[in-house]
Amino acid sequence: MKKIIVLFINLFIIQLMAAQEAQLPLKEIPTAPDTFSSGNMVARMIEGLGFRYYWASKDLKEEDLAYKPSDDARNIMETLQHIYGLTNVIKNGPTSTANGRGEDLSKYSYGELRKMTLDNLNEAALLMRDKTSDDVANMKVVFDRGGQTSEFPFWNMINGPIADAIYHTGQVVTMRRSNGNPINPKISVFTGKVRE
């Protein structure tokens, strides 16, 4: 009887996890817009990052999260936390919202952090859609460090947080492969889809 109960509990947990996974954005890159605009181009970059992050961070185990290539390097969980912080800046860019000091991310589980990161990227991409060159030119990357505010042109978003998050997502791919848990080999970053 105990075995049957344990089996049903495990099946319920698996179904719950599958349902949560199905709700996450950026499993595939959305269909490209019909027109090119500054905003659409940035949105597509963010969607490409989100797609890569989705698969780089999918199905990580506890031993993966603790893995780091050397004593002075970040482990995978710390890298995911850093990427999340970058996605906050990316999400705030389209509205020129100030970025404050980072919060304590240790309170979030791997699953919570992954969902929040993907939600940030999806929201940022949606905010950027169909923005004109003038819209993007007027966006600022703003930091507020204890009353000291600094503003940067949106150009810094591209070579800063977006490029940095892509870079660190690649590190997660490499670290998990080194730890024996490579990403799904059917992922096509070129098409933004999973090959059948």
Report how many domains make up the chain: 1
Q: Is residue 122 part of a domain?
A: yes
Query: What does the pLDDT read at residue 12?
Result: 45
Query: What does the pLDDT read at residue 101?
Result: 84
The string of DSSP letters for 98-146 reads EE-SPP-GGGS-HHHHHHHHHHHHHHHHHHHTT--HHHHHH-EEEEEET
φ/ψ region of 174 (left if φ > 0, alpha if ψ in -120 to 50, else beta) reads alpha
CB atoms within 10 A of CB 76: 25
**Which has the closest alpha carbon to 45: 165, 143, 153?**
165
Query: What does the pLDDT read at residue 80?
Result: 98
Q: Is residue 185 part of a domain?
A: yes
The predicted model scores a pTM of 0.88
Buried b (16+ CB within 10 A) or exposed e, 125-141: bebbbebeeeebeebbb
Q: Is residue 177 part of a domain?
A: yes
Q: Is residue 20 part of a domain?
A: no
Q: Using alpha carbons, list the distances in angstroms from residue 21 to 27, 108, 113.
A: 9, 17, 13
Q: Is residue 91 part of a domain?
A: yes
Query: What does the pLDDT read at residue 103?
Result: 86
Q: Is residue 144 part of a domain?
A: yes
Q: Is residue 73 part of a domain?
A: yes
Query: What does the pLDDT read at residue 1?
Result: 67
Give strand pairing partners of 72.
none
CATH number at 109 reads 1.20.120.450
Per DSSP, the three-state class of 150 is: strand
Q: Is residue 16 part of a domain?
A: no
Q: What is the DSSP letter of 70?
A: S
Q: Using alpha carbons, list the distances in angstroms from residue 41 to 32, 58, 149.
A: 10, 26, 28
Domain range spanning residue 47? Answer: 40-194
Q: What is the DSSP letter of 95?
A: G
List, run by run, the mean pLDDT of 10-residue segments along the chain (196 residues): 62 50 89 92 97 98 97 97 98 95 91 98 95 93 93 96 98 98 96 93
